[in-house]
Amino acid sequence: MDSATATVVDGRILFDLLTSIVWTLLRVGSMFMAAPIVGTPVVSMRVRLVLSVAVSLALTPLIPPAPPAAIDAATVLNVMREIAVGAAMGFVLRLAFEAGALVGELISQGMALSFAQMSDPVRGVNSTVIGQWFFLTFGLLFFTAGGHLALVQLVFDSYATLPIGAALPDMQAFLQAAPAFMAVVLRAGVSIALPVVIAMLAINIAFGVLSRASPALNTIAIGLSGAILVGLFLLTQLVGQFAAPVQGLFDQSFDAARSLLG
């Protein structure tokens, strides 16, 4: 084999390798754009791109080969499918973190801290301070439990279930996975916040009875301070109890992400 032929062969191998990496990058990159913590505005686009390329380089030799490169309608559909699958998996995982924001909102209502809102750089909206604290706590628990490693494992397993270029086995299940998991998120958020909410409701009722019994007292000032102090004490008790429910919610989110693939 002369040098010109060897160069052509090597160039073709390199082109096929780059094509496989780009196919992998479509699903991995779209998932990182929608994934929890990594896909939030606090992580720069450059960091997300570096993570996506690094994971794609690691997974490309381990997954089934990508379809040949071509400029046709089938390739366009495959590209859209890869982006949709990756974004859907990341979005479902991100829904689990909204349970933390819901817990904070519910508890803030009982603690009379619903007015204490500020810009949330993680979610890109205005939310209560307690809600932001719970959201960040969910993130810490996610990394502590090895959620970032499970995220990579989820992507790797998705190629075994749904190789590149393969059609979705059940489109209806794909479209219903996120709405079905949203009900699980709402139920988990309410169940975590329920003990504190009930306790704060009892405190507020007690201050309401006190205001009717002694109208001369400034029950608004006393009740506001008392609700905040009692609420902070209950939060310290809740911190040591809600790790297991949150871990269960994360497990359910990964199961819901796998159900997207049929």
Residues 191-230, buried b or exposed e (16+ Cβ, 10 A)? ebbeebbebbeebbeebeeebeeeeeeebeeebeebbeeb
pLDDT in tens, 127-186: 788 888 888 888 888 888 888 889 999 999 888 888 887 777 777 777 788 888 888 999
pLDDT in tens, 102-126: 888 888 887 777 777 777 667 767 7
Say if residue 89's pLDDT is above 50.
yes
Q: What are phi and psi of 120, to 5 degrees?
A: -100, 105
Q: What is d(CA 69, CA 19) in angstroms, rounded to the nearest whole number?
A: 7
Residues 51 and 38: beta-carbon distance below 8 Å: yes
Q: What is d(CA 137, CA 242) in angstroms, rounded to the nearest whole number?
A: 10
pLDDT in tens, 179-204: 888 889 999 888 888 888 888 888 87
**The predicted structure's pLDDT at residue 117:** 72
**The predicted structure's pLDDT at residue 9:** 47
Taking residues 215-238, what's their average pLDDT? Answer: 76
Taking residues 199-222, what's their average pLDDT? Answer: 75
**The predicted structure's pLDDT at residue 110:** 77
Tell me the three state secondary structure of residue 122.
coil
Which position has the higher pLDDT, 112 or 65? 65
Res. 218 pLDDT band, cuts 50 70 90: low
